[in-house]
Amino acid sequence: MSWYKPWTWADESDSQQGQRKELRGEGLASSNFAGQGESGYGALGAEADTARQGLRDQASGKLSLSSEQLRQGLQQQQAQMQSMAAGGPASSQPMNARTAMLGAGRASSAMAGNAAMAGIQERSAAQKALMDAILGQRQQDMQVALGSRQNAIAGYGGATPGQSWMDKWGGAIMGGAGLLAGGGGGGK
């Protein structure tokens, strides 16, 4: 009778101790793996924060492709109009300057309108992308939390740490002993 150990009546059996040791080993391995995953998760979270900041800057107009295109287009147009005003004979220079000014005004107005519309679309798309990124990160955080909780619950499964042989069967033994002592054993 290898299970009978009178000096350790309430202790676990050898197989229970072995199972507990295996469970601890699996828990340690799982914890190490989770630690590696957590550091990777943190690094990806930092990258996502940087990307979201870029989207915020774009949504606020701080980083705007349309604004940059308008700035470059106006500089190019100004150079063309200056060249047009300066070109030609000296006698027609005032007329050339007037024509260049009128053309620049019309072109600048059209470019500004186009840039404004492009800027609105650009900021709207950036705002949508930012919201999608935030919601995606939120969903991922929720899945990580729920998954880790489910893993923790599944890891303990049917094993209840700290419960000895006496905790499991002591009540039944005491109940049976009380029955026998009280004459409820049914012998007479």
Please tell me whether residue 187 adopts helix, strand or coil conformation.
Answer: coil
**C-alpha span between 34 and 69 (Å, rounded):** 48
Can you give the pLDDT at residue 169? Answer: 66
Asked whether the whole model's pTM tops 0.75, one would answer: no
The tens digit of pLDDT for each residue in 55-72 reads: 888 888 888 888 888 888
What pLDDT does 188 receive?
45
What local confidence, expressed as pLDDT, does residue 8 receive?
A: 52
User: Looking at residue 175, what is its pLDDT?
Assistant: 72
Give the integer Cα–Cα distance in Å for 132 and 48.
12
Average pLDDT of the segment spanning 46-51: 85
Residue-wise pLDDT for 131-155, tens only, equals 888 888 888 888 877 777 777 777 6
Least confident of 37-41, 64-68, 168-172: 168-172
Is-contact 169 9, C-beta < 8 A?
no
| Cβ partners under 8 Å of residue 99, min gap 6 | 84
∠ Cα 76 107 58 (to 5°): 70
Encode pLDDT of 25-35 as tens digits: 877 777 777 77
113 has pLDDT over 80: yes
Residue 186 has pLDDT above 60, yes or no: no
pLDDT of residue 4: 55
pLDDT at 166: 63
Instruction: Name the band, by pLDDT with cuts 50, 70 and 90, for residue 1.
Output: very low
Longest dimension (CA), the chain: 142
Percent of the chain with pLDDT over 70: 79
